[in-house]
């Protein structure tokens, strides 16, 4: 590369910085350290053969150094704590508390019956209602959940997969009632079914019809809800199930490519849906490996989208991602130590250039977090953002010999897995054959053995143990909630126009049989007449069948 | 007897199966036959699988908070099907305060976050083959050790006031201690006096003052018991038996294993008096 192009690329970056500053001025006039040393926007080599090819400038291809030209100097990442338990009313109170405390986005945890498309009164739901998240049966519950939360200002992320279409429609219906036009609604649905088969377990239908629902959502949103992130392709749960950092990135990107392929097969144009794809990664304890992992993931995705899929719009090349700190790294022993782990993991995510972040609460190995624990978790992010100074320059670790070498190595190892999955016939096929599941289980078992023979030290667990553990106060979900939720559902069923519901469900069933039809408008209609999550999903269960595992 | 057969099951809707899968693999490595049910099993399905597969034990895993509903349900269905001889153990994210509730309803044992797969495998072996692996309870209290500043100052209380028989006074240089044994029924009281400032008894006196120092339990199966405790991760002061007073083999268990009480396990060889 000649000095000349190096200079002109740098000028390009500077131009895009100026454009960015018009829309997102930096948080301060100037950034300085405690010794009053000026902090530059970016540090980079004066001249380097491989710099632009491998790293480039922030906001420029291949985005190794981040997707925005000024990164957190303009806007901090979105602090988005995943929350939800019990009834819609209780969760609404927690949401409003978190927003009051300075949280900038919502993230909804649903209970397992909702995530698997069962109403609270289904026999399969027994004992699970409201336990790991909020129970949503009908639009009534969703209205209660979002009560007094302005959906034109707050973006909401919903951890919902198999019934993502139903919950998305409920969310849109509430927005409509608040008077927010569809094109202004922002948020994210997880909608990533492949990792459910691999690692998380809340699947309903077999892969083919599930992929259809996903592409239906892509198509619908591209047309009517263009600001909504239609999928959050998740490595988080793959990592929690026991994978390595390399496997996390490899399997996630492989799944991402499968969704792109499915959408292309359905006739969508790459540059219409690819900019709305979002990702979701984990942050574990090996600090610099995690930083390198995020940077490598961004570079691989950019290259794949640009070269393999020939996407033209730079927005299609950018891997935008949410990060959550690693739940499985937390210990039930000496739970306050988890605050330290979470801090380290959150820092790795920030050094890795995350767009939004959830920090786990210290008591999550014991139960759902208490309000106090959830607040400390949020404060952890706020301290990193406001006190550490790491957000004052873009990609501060870029150029570290170790980090760059790790970034290269991770890219190389990920590519080996991607080749392997390609040989099997793509991610859907690999999932069906159990390939990724086996790889993850092997790693999980090896990790357990290493911990038991103390090859891996976990502070407080296999070393530095305490004689007596103090039992912290834990959050309890009221056992009476299940019955109360079932009463609410019954009430909703009595108040609605049953004839309208029957018609809406019959129409949905008819359209489900037609493989070319987009089901979203029909689901939206059913939701608006107060058909329940279970009723809608049961229609699709009848038509699509159920996935039963390996 | 053939291989131990274990059913690992995920009751309810919870999809977190990392723990269940790791345990299944670990038990296989311990030579057991493991059947894993997969996700989303109802209590009835689990019991049917257990009976059909003729398993020796059922392991339930739940991380979603539904354990208080679902674990007892499995036990009830086992009863209904006349299969309550199949023991049930559980694990997952289970708060300590829920454990008594589950045990009362018939779950044999709960293994929570941080439990080792070794301990679980050992537990299952003992649960299934009690006659082979089960240890007998310790036979009796061999003695109660009492730390004193000077034996001479207190001995008359024991011999004159209480009228106990003094069996002898012995100095154990290696332990930095002088001991006096007083016979009471089939047990003894052991007075312990430090020989110097480095003596463990002196350290005890500095920290806690005079008083009960330890309780010694007589057990024939000293080696087996130590081995067992080592693999269960019980903290021991002596992992191997050492020579004690009066031809005995002794080993101390760390007080943090026993609610702050220092226990000594001892075995007296043939011919010794106690």
Is the distance from CB of A276 to CB of A391 less than 8 angstroms?
no
Residue with tokens 């509903």, as numbered in its chain = B69
Q: Return d(Cα A470, Cα A468) in angstroms, integer.
A: 6
Encoded tokens for A50: 């491989």
Vertex A240 angle, CA A236 and A242, to 5°:
125
pLDDT score at B132: 54
pLDDT at B133 > cutoff 70 = no
**Three-class SS state of B67:** helix
The DSSP code for B56 is: S
Question: Is A140 in contact with A173 (CB distance < 8 Å)?
Answer: no
How much is the pLDDT for A1? Answer: 47
Backbone angles phi, psi at A186, to 5 degrees: -125, 150
Structure tokens given for B249:
């083999």
Q: Would A426 be classed as within a structural domain?
A: yes
- H or E segment and range at residue A11: helix A3-23
β-bridge pairing A78-83 and A105-109: parallel
Greatest pairwise CA separation for chain A in angstroms: 74
Distance from C-alpha of B243 to C-alpha of B267, rounded to nearest angstrom: 10
Q: DSSP assignment, residue B59? A: E
Tokens describing residue A64: 């190794």
Give pLDDT, residue A2.
55
Q: In the 8-state DSSP scheme, what is residue A398? A: T
Burial class (CB in 10 A: 0-12, 13-18, 19+), B259: exposed
In angstroms, the separation between the Cα of residue B63 and the nearest Cα of chain A is 9
- Other beta carbons less than 10 A from residue A9's beta carbon: 16
φ/ψ of A423, rounded to 5, equals -65, -35
Interface touch A468/B256, C-beta < 8 Å: yes
Total length of chain B:
274
A445 with B25: Cβ contact below 8 A: yes
Contact assessment for residue A155 and residue A105, using Cβ atoms and an 8 Å cutoff: yes
Any B CB within 8 A of A454 CB: no
Q: Is B177 helix (H, G, I), strand (E, B) or coil?
A: strand
CA angle A236, A239, A240 (to 5 degrees): 85
Do residue B93 and residue A365 have CB atoms under 8 angstroms apart? yes
Distance between CA atoms of residues A257 and A162, nearest Å: 19
CA distance A161 to A196: 8
A448:B114 CB<8 A: no
How far is it between the farthest Cα atoms of chain B? 71
Among residues A389, A397, A427, which one has the least CA distance to residue A293? A397
Closest residue of B to A133, CA-based? B64
What proportion of chain B, given as a percentage, has pLDDT over 70? 96
SS3 content of chain B, % helix, strand, coil (to 5): 35, 30, 35
**What are the residue ranges in chain A where pLDDT is below 70?**
1-4, 550
The reply to whether A402 falls in a domain is yes
Name the residue facing B13 among A112, A461, A550 (closest C-beta): A112
Q: Is A291 within the bounds of a domain?
A: yes
Q: Which of residues 83-122 of A touch B (CB under 8 A)?
A: 112-113, 115-116, 118
Q: Rounded to whole angstroms, what are the CA distances from A229 to A24, A274, B241? A: 21, 10, 65
| pLDDT score for A364 | 87
Residue in this structure with the two tokens 């690992």, named with its chain if needed: B8
Total Cβ atoms within 10 A of residue B169? 14
For A228, phi and psi rounded to 5 degrees? Answer: -85, 135
Hey, are the CB atoms on B113 and A125 less than 8 Å from each other? no
Domain containing residue A331: CATH number: 3.20.20.240
Specify the DSSP class assigned to residue A156. E
Question: Rounded CA gap, A503 and A521, in Å?
Answer: 14
* Nearest CA among A265, A240, A262 for reference residue A251: A240
Which chain A residues are Cβ-neighbours of B66 within 8 angstroms? Answer: 127-128, 131
pLDDT of residue A535: 98
Rounded CA gap, A101 and A378, in Å?
9
- Optimal mutation site among A85, A160, A201, A449, interface B, most CBs of chain B within 10 A: A201
* Residue A347 in domain: yes
Using the beta-carbon criterion (under 8 Å), do A201 and B14 form an inter-chain contact?
A: yes
Query: Does A174 map to a domain?
Result: yes
User: Roughly what angle, to the nearest 10 degrees, separates helices A207-224 and A533-544?
Assistant: 130
Closest residue in A to B65 (Cα) is: A131
Fold of B140-268: 2,3-Dihydroxybiphenyl 1,2-Dioxygenase; domain 1 (3.10.180)
- Crossing angle between the packed helical segments B67-80 and B43-52, to the nearest 10 degrees: 50
State the pairing for strand pair B33-36/B242-244. Answer: unpaired
First to last CA, chain B: 38
- pLDDT tens for each residue of B209-267: 999 999 999 998 888 888 888 877 789 998 888 887 777 889 999 998 888 899 999 98
Domains held by chain A: number: 1
| Domain ranges, ordered by start, for chain B | 5-128, 140-268
| Cis-peptide, bond into residue A545, ω within 30° of zero | no
Within a 10 A sphere around the Cβ of A393, how many other Cβ atoms? 19
pLDDT band at B274 (very low <50, low <70, confident <90, very high): very low
State whether residue A470 sits within 8 Å of chain B by CB: no
pLDDT at position B273, please? 47
Substitution target in B8, B10, B12, B13 with the highest count of A β-carbons within 10 Å is B13
The Cα-based distances of A110 to A141, A241, A277 in angstroms read 12, 20, 22
Strands B242-244 and B248-253: antiparallel
pLDDT at A58: 95
> Is this prediction's ipTM beyond 0.85?
no
DSSP annotation string for B185-241? TTEEEEEEEESSTTSHHHHHHHHH-SEEEEEEEE-TTHHHHHHHHHHTT--BS-SS-
Q: Bigger pLDDT: B124 or B272?
A: B124
Domain B5-128, architecture per CATH = 3-Layer(aba) Sandwich (3.40)
> CB-side exposure of A279: number of CA atoms within 13 Å?
28
Give the domain range for residue A405. 51-384+398-452
Regarding predicted confidence, which is higher, A472 or B103?
A: B103
* Cβ-defined contact of A474 to B12 (cutoff 8 Å): no
Task: Give DSSP secondary structure letters for A66-82.
Answer: -SSSSGGGTSPPEEEEE
Q: For residue A448, which residues of chain B lie inside 8 Å, CB to CB? A: 22, 26, 117
Size of interface A-B (CB pairs under 8 A): 97
The set of residues, in sequence order, having a beta carbon less than 8 Å from that of A99 and lying 6+ positions away, is A106, A149, A154
Let me know if residue A314 belongs to a domain: yes
3-state secondary structure of A529: coil
Bridge pairing between strands A78-83 and A356-358: parallel
Distances (CA, A) of A316 to A211, A219, A232, A303, B217: 20, 16, 14, 11, 72
Q: Look at residue B67 in the predicted model and tell me its pLDDT.
A: 93
State residue B272's pLDDT score.
Answer: 47
Q: What is the pLDDT of residues A49-72, one digit of tens each?
A: 788 889 999 999 999 999 999 999
CB contact under 8 Å between A444 and B116, yes or no, is: no
Contacts with B210 (C-beta within 8 Å, 6 or more apart), sequence order: B146, B147, B148, B149
pTM summary value: 0.79
* Residue keyed to tokens 């392709």: A233
């Amino acid at each position: 590369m000649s000095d000349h192009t190096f200079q002109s690329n740098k000028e390009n970056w500077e131009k895009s910085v100026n454009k960015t500053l018009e829309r997102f001025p930096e948080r301060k006039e100037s950034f300085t350290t405690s010794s009053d040393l000026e902090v530059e926007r970016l540090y980079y080599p004066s001249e380097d053969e491989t710099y632009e090819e491998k790293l480039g400038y922030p906001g420029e291809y291949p985005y190794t150094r981040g997707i925005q030209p000024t990164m957190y100097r303009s806007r901090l990442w979105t602090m988005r704590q995943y929350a939800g338990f019990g009834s819609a009313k209780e969760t609404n109170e927690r949401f409003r508390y978190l927003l009051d405390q300075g949280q900038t986005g919502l993230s909804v945890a649903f209970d397992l019956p909702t995530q698997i498309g069962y109403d609270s009164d289904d026999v399969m739901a027994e004992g699970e209602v409201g336990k790991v998240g909020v129970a949503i049966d009908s639009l009534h519950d969703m209205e209660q959940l979002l009560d007094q939360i302005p959906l034109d200002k707050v973006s909401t992320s919903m951890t919902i997969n198999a019934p993502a279409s139903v919950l998305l429609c409920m969310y849109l219906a509430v927005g409509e009632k608040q008077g927010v036009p569809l094109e202004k609604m922002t948020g994210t649905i997880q909608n990533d079914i492949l990792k459910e088969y691999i690692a998380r377990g809340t699947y309903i239908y077999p892969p083919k019809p599930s992929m259809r629902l996903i592409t239906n959502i892509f198509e619908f949103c591209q047309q009517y809800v263009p600001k909504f992130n239609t999928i959050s392709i998740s490595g988080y749960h793959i990592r929690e199930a026991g994978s390595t950092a390399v496997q996390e990135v490899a399997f996630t990107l492989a799944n991402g490519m499968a969704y792109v392929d499915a959408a292309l097969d359905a006739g969508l144009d790459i540059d219409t849906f690819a900019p709305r794809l979002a990702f979701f990664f984990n942050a574990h304890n090996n600090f610099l490996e995690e930083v390198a992992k995020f940077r490598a993931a961004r570079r691989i995705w950019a290259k794949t989208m640009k070269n393999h899929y020939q996407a033209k719009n730079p927005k299609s090349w950018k891997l935008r991602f949410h990060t959550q700190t690693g739940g499985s790294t937390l210990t039930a022993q000496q739970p306050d130590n988890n605050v330290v782990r979470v801090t380290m993991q959150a820092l790795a995510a920030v050094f890795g250039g995350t767009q939004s972040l959830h920090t786990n609460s210290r008591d999550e190995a014991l139960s759902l977090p208490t309000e106090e624990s959830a607040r400390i978790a949020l404060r952890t992010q706020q301290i990193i953002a406001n006190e550490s100074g790491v957000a004052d320059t873009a990609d501060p670790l870029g150029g570290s010999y170790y980090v760059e070498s790790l970034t290269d190595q991770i890219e190389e190892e990920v590519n080996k897995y991607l080749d392997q999955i390609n040989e099997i016939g793509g991610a859907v096929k690999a999932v069906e054959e159990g390939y990724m599941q086996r790889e993850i289980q092997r790693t999980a078992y090896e990790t357990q053995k290493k911990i038991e023979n103390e090859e891996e030290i976990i502070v407080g667990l296999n070393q530095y143990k305490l004689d007596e553990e103090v039992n912290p106060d834990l959050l309890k979900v009221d056992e009476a909630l299940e019955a109360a939720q079932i009463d609410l559902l019954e009430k909703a069923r009595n108040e609605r126009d049953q004839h309208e519901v029957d018609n809406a469900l019959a129409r949905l069933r008819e359209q489900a049989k037609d493989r070319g039809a987009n089901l979203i408008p029909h689901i939206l209609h059913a939701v608006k007449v107060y058909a329940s999550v279970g009723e809608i999903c049961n229609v699709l269960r009848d038509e699509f069948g159920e996935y039963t595992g390996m | 007897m053939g291989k131990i057969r274990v059913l690992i099951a995920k009751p309810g809707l919870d999809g977190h199966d990392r723990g269940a899968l790791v345990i299944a693999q670990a038990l296989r490595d311990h030579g057991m036959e493991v059947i894993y049910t997969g996700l989303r099993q109802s209590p009835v399905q689990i019991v049917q699988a257990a009976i059909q597969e003729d398993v020796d034990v059922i392991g339930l895993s739940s991380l979603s908070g539904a354990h208080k509903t679902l674990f007892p349900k499995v036990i009830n269905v086992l009863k209904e099907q006349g299969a309550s001889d199949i023991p049930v153990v559980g694990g997952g994210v289970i708060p300590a305060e829920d454990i008594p509730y589950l045990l009362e309803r018939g779950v044999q044992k709960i293994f929570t976050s941080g439990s080792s797969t070794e301990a679980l495998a050992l537990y299952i072996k003992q649960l299934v083959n009690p006659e082979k692996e089960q240890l007998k309870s310790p036979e009796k209290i061999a003695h109660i050790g009492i730390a004193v500043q000077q034996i001479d100052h207190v001995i008359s209380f024991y011999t004159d006031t209480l009228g106990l028989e003094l069996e002898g006074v012995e100095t154990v240089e290696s332990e930095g201690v002088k001991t006096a044994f007083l016979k009471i029924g089939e047990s003894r009281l052991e007075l312990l006096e430090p020989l110097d400032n480095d003596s463990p008894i002196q350290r005890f006196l500095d920290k806690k003052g005079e008083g009960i120092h330890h309780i010694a339990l007589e057990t024939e199966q000293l080696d087996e018991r130590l081995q067992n405790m080592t693999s269960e991760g019980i903290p021991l002061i002596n992992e191997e038996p050492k020579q004690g007073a009066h031809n005995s083999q002794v080993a101390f268990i760390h007080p943090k294993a026993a609610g702050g009480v220092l226990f000594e396990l001892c075995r007296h060889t043939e011919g010794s008096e106690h």
